[in-house]
Amino acid sequence: QGQLMESGGGSVQAGGSLRLSCVASGDTYSNCMGWFRQGPGKEPEGIAALRLDGWGTYYVDDIEGRFTISRDDAKKTVYLQMTSLKPEDSATYYCAADPYDRFCNTVLRGTPKYWGQGTQVTVSG
């Protein structure tokens, strides 16, 4: 069936940048690809998504303008470029995919079929 494998997390100072990568294998490279994050004691929330058919890119308000989602179809890879990081961005970040576009909407709600294992982002300062 395949899997989603994230990388690129780490620890940075406030104002810094990180780029997360998600490599999809098997059947997991789906029309709807995106990122969720889960802070301590919180539920996972969708923060960014894009449709591979080109019909939409979605962000939650508190990251728009700071984070950019992109893809490389040849590599079956989705990226999340994060800039101007804030301490409140600290969370475990999960790559997610869904062939039925369940979370590719303006409120980024819906349960993906596929999840990665998560990568930790810690922003200090």
With 90 as the cut, is the pLDDT of residue 125 above it?
no
Summarize pLDDT for 48-57 with one digit per residue, the tens.
999 988 788 9
- How far is it, in rounded angstroms, from Cα 75 to Cα 24? 8
Summarize pLDDT for 18-66 with one digit per residue, the tens.
999 999 999 999 999 999 999 989 999 999 999 988 788 999 999 989 9
> What pLDDT is attached to residue 111?
93
Residue 43, class by beta-carbon neighbours within 10 Å (0-12 exposed, 13-18 middle, 19+ buried)?
exposed
Q: Is 28 in contact with 77 (CB distance < 8 Å)?
A: no
> What pLDDT is attached to residue 114?
96
> What pLDDT is attached to residue 88?
95
What is the mean pLDDT of the segment spanning 68-77? Answer: 94
> What pLDDT is attached to residue 2?
86
With 90 as the cut, is the pLDDT of residue 91 above it?
yes
